[in-house]
C-alpha cells in the first residue's frame, strides 16, 4: 500500500485518500497510489460508491512540477484519469482548497464533484508554458462549452466554487470546512439513489452548440495582443478546438501532441524556473524561518504623490489603516482625490464594489504633522530623490515615532545606510522600494542596510506577502539590483543611439525580446524629468555624467507622456508612442556637437549590448552579495521591469544562451568600447572556466 494514497471503506463508501503535503501534487508515488487504491475499491464488493478526497490544506494542486524536465514514469496521468473514468462504480471527487491542473483533470475523470464553498478550481498550466495534458482540454469544454473553457485554459485563472457550480464543473457546493464529511454525505446520497456512472467524455450537448464556432479564431486574435511572444496559449486554443472537431480519443491524442510541443518549448523551462524562483525568494539566506516578526497594525506614508498614494492603497487593500502626511493641505487633498479616483475606476471595471471603495477610503486618512505617527508600527517615506531631504525627514521621524516602529524609505537609488545614519535606530531602518504604479506592480525590493535587524528584515518579508507583493531582499548599493542593472542598459541604449541607432530601433529589439515596452518608451512613461533631475543631482555632487540628447529634450519641455512629447510623441489620450522627426533632428544635432559619425547598427548588436551589459552587472551584483542568488535577480526583473517570465529572467536567460558565449562577447565589447560596464565580472569568468552556470550557484 502506498504511503501517500490510502484506501479504506466507511459503510458502503470506498474512500481513496491522498496525503502528500504540501499540496498533494501528482508525483509518481501519488499516481501509482491512485491506481492501486482504485483497484482496491473496484475489488471491494461492499463499496458501492468510491470517494476521492485529500488530506491537508488542499485537493490535488496539479502534476508535480518538480518532476518536469525529468524522464516521465508510468503510470502517466492521462491513463490514471482514464482508469478512474472507466471505473464501473460511481466515483465522487470532494474538493477543498484548490483543485488545479492535473488535480482538476483527475476530478473531471471522476463521475461527480462536490466542493466546499471556499474552494477554487483552475487549469493554470499555461502559466507554466504548458497546457492541460490529462484531458482537461477535452473534458472541460464538454461541461462548460467553448467560450468558458478557452477563458479558463488560456488565462489559467482560478474559478470560485459557486461559479464552478454555475458552469457545471462541480455538481454541488457545501459550506463548512470538513471536506471528508461533505464528501461522504454526497457519496452516500449517490449510493442511496443508485445514481449511475456518468463519464464526462460521453457528454456532447455543449460540443454540438459550439461546433464550427468563430470563438476559436476570436481567441487567437485576442491572444496576439495579450500573449504576445508566448507559445503555449495558442496551443491551448488548438487543443480545445480539437474537442469540437474530433472524437474524444482523437482529441486526447491531439492534446498529447500539443502538450509535448509545449514541453519541448524553452518557454516551459523559463516559466517553471519563474514559478519556483518566486517561492524561493521568500526564503532569505541567513534569516531563519522562526525569526520573530513585528505586528503591523497601523502605517504612515510620507508624500501623497503618485508613489505615496499607490503605496497607501496597498495597505488599505489589506485592511491596514494608513495615514498619509503632506506639507500642504492642498497637496494632501489632491493626493487623496487621486486615490479615490483610482478606486472608483477599479469599481467601474467591476473589480471591486462601491462598498469596498468606501471601506478602503475609510482606512486612509491624511495629516500635516508627524505627531500623528506617534503610534504607527511602520512609516514609509516616499518623497522626491534628495538625500538632504530624506535625512531631515528620518531625523524627525526618529523623534516622532514610538520605539520599535520601522522606518522605511521608498528611495529607488539613494543609500539606505546614509538615510539610516540620520537616526538613532538604524537597526529599525530598511528600504521598501515599490514600483510605479505602486498599487499594481507586484515587486517590492526590500533593501537591508548594514544595521537592519533580522526582526525588521523578517517583518518586511512577511509584510510583502500580506500586501500581495513579491518581496525580494537585496543589499544596499546605488540603484540596488533592479535600477543598477537598468541604468547600465539605459546607458548602453543611449550610446547605441549616439552611435547611429534610432530610439525606436532599440525599443523594437527589447519588445521583440518580450518586454512590454522599450527603454525609451519607458523613459517617456516614467517622465524624462525624473532621469534629468537624477543626472543633475549627480552632476551637482561632482560626478562626471556625460552630456545627453535626453537633456535637450527635457530642457525643451518634452518630458514624455505627461507632456504628450518626449522621445516619442503621443496623440491626445493615447499612450501609443509615435516616432517624431523632431527628435531625430535633436539626436543628429547632438551627434554633430559631439563629433560623432553615425554608423549602421544591427539588431543583434543592440540585443547583446542592452542585455549582456545587464547580465555582466548581475554577475557583479552576485559577487558583491547585493543579491544572494541569481533567482533573486530574475524575480526582480520579472515582477519589477516586465522581463518576459517565459524567458525565466535575465540570469536564467543568460544560462540558456550559454555563459561562454556571453563572456566572449562581453570581452569583445570591453576591447572595442571599453568602460567599466564591460569589464568582465570575475564571477562570469570563474563560472565559464568551471563550466558552471548562474543556476548552479
Ligand atoms: N508541484 C510541486 N510543488 C508544488 C506545486 C506543484 N504543482 N504547487 C505548489 N508546490 C509547492 C511550492 O513550490 C511550495 O514549496 C509549496 O508547494 C507551497 O506552495 C498534466 C501538466 C497550489 C495555489 O500550476 O498555484 O498539472 O516553497 O507557496 O501560496 O495537466 O502553489 O514550500 O518548498 O505556492 O498557498 C498545474 C501551482 C501543474 C499549481 C498554493 N498546477 N501551485 O499556493 O503556496 S501542471 C499549478 C500553485 C499540471 C497537467 C499539468 C500554488 C497553490 P515550498 P505556495 P500557496
Report whether pLDDT(3) > 90: no
* Atom of ligand 1 at shortest range from CA of 58: 22
Q: How far is the CA of 23 from the centre of ligand 1 (A)?
A: 7
Bridge partners (DSSP) of residue 49 are 13
Mean pLDDT score, 229-251: 97
Q: How far apart are CA 200 and CA 251, in angstroms?
A: 14
User: Among residues of the chain, what percentage have pLDDT more than 70?
Assistant: 100
Q: How far apart are the first and last CA of the chain?
A: 39
581-594 and 482-499 helices cross at what angle (nearest 10)? 80
Contact between 210 and 243 (Cβ < 8 Å): no
Please name the residue whose Cα sits nearest to atom 52 of ligand 1: 61
Kindly indicate the confidence band of residue 298, based on its pLDDT and cuts at 50, 70 and 90: very high
3-state secondary structure of 446: strand
Residues 187-201 have a mean pLDDT of 98
Please compute the mean of the pLDDT values over residues 327-342 and round it to a whole number: 96
pLDDT, position 1: 54
Question: Looking at residues 39-56, what average pLDDT do you find?
Answer: 98
Strand spans (E) along 20-124 = 49-54, 91-95, 98-100, 112-116, 120-122
Residue 74: pLDDT band (50, 70, 90) is very high
CB 98 near ligand 1, within 6 Å: yes
The pLDDT assigned to 212 comes to 80
* Separation of alpha carbons 274 and 634, rounded Å: 8
pLDDT at 593: 95
Residue 569 in contact with residue 580, Cβ under 8 Å? Answer: yes
125 belongs to the catalytic site:
yes
Measured between alpha carbons, how far is 330 from 308 in angstroms, rounded to an integer? 15
Q: How far is the CA of 261 from the centre of ligand 1 (A)?
A: 22
Question: Which tens digits make up the pLDDT trace of 303-313?
Answer: 999 999 999 99
Reported as a single tens digit per residue, the pLDDT across 599-613 is 999 999 999 999 999
**Catalytic: 582?**
no
Identify the pLDDT of residue 531: 86
Region 73-98: what's the mean pLDDT? 98
What is the CA(135)–ligand 1 centre distance, in A? 19
Instruction: Tell me what pLDDT residue 88 has.
Output: 97
Band of the pLDDT at 413, cuts 50, 70, 90? Answer: confident
Q: How confident is the model at residue 97 (pLDDT cuts 50, 70, 90)?
A: very high
Q: Does the structure show a pLDDT above 90 at 117?
A: yes
Pocket test for ligand 1, best of 31, 54, 65 (most atoms within 8 A of CB): 65
Per-residue pLDDT, averaged over 178-203, amounts to: 98
Q: What percent of the chain has pLDDT over 90?
A: 94
Coil, strand or helix at 289:
coil
User: What pLDDT is attached to residue 545?
Assistant: 85
Q: What does the pLDDT look like over 444-496, one tens digit per residue?
A: 999 999 999 999 999 999 999 999 999 999 999 999 999 999 999 999 999 99
Q: Please, which pLDDT band fits residue 543 given cuts at 50, 70 and 90?
A: confident
Ligand 1 touching residue 279 (CB < 6 A): yes
Contact 507, 520 (CB under 8 A): yes
Res. 84 pLDDT band, cuts 50 70 90? very high
Q: Is 25 in the pocket of ligand 1 (CB under 6 A)?
A: yes
Mean pLDDT for the chain overall = 96
The answer for residues whose C-beta is within 8 angstroms of residue 398's C-beta and 6 or more apart is 407, 422, 423, 424, 425
Which residue, judged by its Cα, is nearest atom 22 of ligand 1? 61
User: What is the structure's pLDDT at 303?
Assistant: 97
Ligand 1 atom at shortest distance from the alpha carbon of 63: 26
Asked if residue 210 has its Cβ within 6 Å of ligand 1, the reply is no
- Establish whether residue 105 lines the binding site of ligand 1, counting it when its CB lies within 6 angstroms of any ligand atom: yes
Per-residue model confidence (pLDDT) at position 213:
83
Concatenating the DSSP letter of every residue in 31-61 gives HHHHHHHHHHHHH-TT-SEEEEEE-TT-S--
Q: Is the pLDDT confidence value at 2 over 80? A: no
Nine-digit cell string for 187: 457519496
What does the pLDDT read at residue 79? 98
Q: Residue 102 Cα, ligand 1 centroid: separation in angstroms?
A: 11
Looking at ligand 1, which atom is closest to the CA of residue 62?
Answer: 26
- 101 Cα nearest atom in ligand 1: 26
- DSSP helix, strand, coil percent of the chain (3-state; round to 5): 55, 10, 35
Cα–Cα distances in Å, from 680 out to 97, 107, 620? 49, 53, 9
Average pLDDT estimate for 19-46 = 97
Amino acid at each position: 500500500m502506498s504511503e501517500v494514497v490510502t484506501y479504506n471503506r466507511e459503510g458502503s463508501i470506498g474512500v481513496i485518500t491522498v496525503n502528500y503535503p504540501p499540496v498533494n501534487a501528482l508525483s509518481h508515488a501519488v499516481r501509482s497510489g491512485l491506481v492501486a487504491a482504485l483497484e482496491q475499491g473496484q475489488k471491494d464488493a461492499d463499496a458501492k460508491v468510491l470517494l476521492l478526497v485529500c488530506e491537508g490544506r488542499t485537493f490535488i494542486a496539479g502534476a508535480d512540477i518538480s518532476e518536469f524536465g525529468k524522464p516521465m514514469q508510468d503510470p502517466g496521468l492521462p491513463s490514471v484519469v482514464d482508469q478512474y473514468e472507466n471505473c464501473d462504480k460511481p466515483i465522487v471527487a470532494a474538493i477543498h482548497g484548490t483543485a488545479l491542473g492535473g488535480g482538476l483533470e483527475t476530478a473531471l475523470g471522476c463521475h461527480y464533484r462536490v466542493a466546499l464553498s471556499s474552494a477554487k478550481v483552475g487549469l493554470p498550466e499555461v502559466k507554466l508554458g504548458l497546457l492541460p495534458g490529462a484531458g482537461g482540454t477535452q473534458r472541460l469544454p464538454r461541461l462548460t462549452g467553448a467560450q468558458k473553457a478557452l477563458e479558463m485554459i488560456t488565462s489559467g485563472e482560478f474559478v470560485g466554487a459557486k461559479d464552478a457550480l454555475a458552469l457545471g464543473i462541480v455538481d454541488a457546493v457545501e459550506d463548512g470546512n470538513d471536506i471528508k464529511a461533505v464528501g461522504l454525505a454526497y457519496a452516500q446520497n449517490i449510493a442511496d439513489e443508485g445514481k449511475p456512472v456518468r463519464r464526462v467524455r460521453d457528454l456532447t450537448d455543449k460540443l454540438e452548440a459550439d461546433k464550427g464556432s468563430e470563438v476559436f479564431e476570436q481567441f487567437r486574435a485576442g491572444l496576439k495582443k495579450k500573449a504576445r511572444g508566448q507559445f503555449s496559449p495558442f496551443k491551448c486554443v488548438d487543443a480545445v478546438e480539437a474537442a469540437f472537431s474530433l472524437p474524444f480519443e482523437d482529441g486526447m491524442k491531439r492534446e498529447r501532441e500539443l502538450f509535448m510541443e509545449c514541453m519541448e518549448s524553452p518557454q516551459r523551462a523559463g516559466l517553471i524556473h519563474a514559478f519556483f524562483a518566486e517561492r524561493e525568494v521568500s526564503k532569505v539566506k541567513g534569516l531563519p524561518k522562526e525569526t520573530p516578526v513585528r505586528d503591523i497594525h497601523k502605517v504612515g506614508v510620507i508624500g501623497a504623490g503618485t508613489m505615496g498614494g499607490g503605496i497607501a492603497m496597498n495597505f488599505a487593500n489589506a485592511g491596514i489603516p494608513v495615514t498619509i502626511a503632506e506639507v500642504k493641505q492642498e497637496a494632501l487633498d489632491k493626493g487623496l482625490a487621486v486615490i479615490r479616483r483610482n478606486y472608483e475606476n477599479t469599481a467601474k471595471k467591476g473589480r471591486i464594489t462601491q462598498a469596498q471603495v468606501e471601506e478602503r477610503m475609510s482606512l486612509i486618512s491624511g495629516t500635516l504633522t508627524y505627531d500623528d505617527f506617534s503610534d504607527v508600527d511602520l512609516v514609509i517615506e516616499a518623497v522626491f530623490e534628495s538625500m538632504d531631504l530624506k535625512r531631515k525627514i528620518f531625523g524627525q521621524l526618529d523623534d516622532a515615532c514610538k520605539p520599535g516602529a520601522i522606518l522605511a524609505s521608498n528611495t529607488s537609488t539613494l543609500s539606505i545606510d546614509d538615510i539610516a545614519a540620520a537616526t538613532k535606530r538604524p537597526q529599525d531602518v530598511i528600504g521598501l522600494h515599490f514600483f510605479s504604479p505602486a498599487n499594481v506592480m507586484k515587486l517590492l525590493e526590500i533593501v537591508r542596510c548594514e544595521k537592519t535587524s533580522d526582526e525588521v528584515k523578517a517583518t518586511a518579508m512577511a509584510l510583502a506577502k500580506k500586501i500581495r507583493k513579491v518581496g525580494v531582499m537585496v543589499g544596499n548599493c546605488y540603484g540596488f539590483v533592479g535600477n543598477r542593472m537598468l541604468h547600465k542598459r539605459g546607458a548602453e541604449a543611449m550610446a547605441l543611439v549616439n552611435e547611429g541607432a534610432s530610439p525606436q530601433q532599440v525599443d523594437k529589439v527589447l519588445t521583440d525580446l518580450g518586454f512590454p515596452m522599450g527603454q525609451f518608451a519607458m523613459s517617456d512613461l516614467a517622465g524624462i524629468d525624473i532621469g534629468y533631475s537624477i543626472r543633475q543631482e549627480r552632476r551637482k555632487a561632482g560626478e562626471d555624467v556625460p552630456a545627453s540628447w535626453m537633456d535637450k529634450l527635457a530642457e525643451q519641455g518634452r518630458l514624455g507622456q505627461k507632456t504628450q512629447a518626449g522621445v516619442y510623441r503621443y496623440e491626445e489620450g493615447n499612450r501609443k508612442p509615435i516616432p517624431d522627426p523632431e527628435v531625430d533632428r535633436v539626436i543628429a544635432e547632438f551627434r554633430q556637437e559631439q563629433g560623432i559619425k553615425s554608423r549602421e547598427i544591427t539588431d543583434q548588436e543592440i540585443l547583446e549590448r542592452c542585455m549582456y551589459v545587464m547580465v555582466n552587472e548581475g554577475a557583479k551584483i552576485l559577487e558583491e552579495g547585493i543579491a544572494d542568488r541569481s533567482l533573486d535577480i530574475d524575480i526582480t526583473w520579472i515582477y519589477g521591469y516586465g522581463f518576459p517570465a517565459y524567458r525565466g529572467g535575465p540570469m536564467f536567460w543568460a544560462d540558456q544562451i550559454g555563459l561562454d558565449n556571453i563572456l566572449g562577447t562581453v570581452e569583445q565589447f570591453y576591447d572595442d568600447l571599453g568602460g567599466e560596464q564591460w569589464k568582465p565580472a570575475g564571477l562570469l569568468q570563474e563560472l565559464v572556466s568551471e563550466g558552471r552556470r548562474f543556476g548552479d550557484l
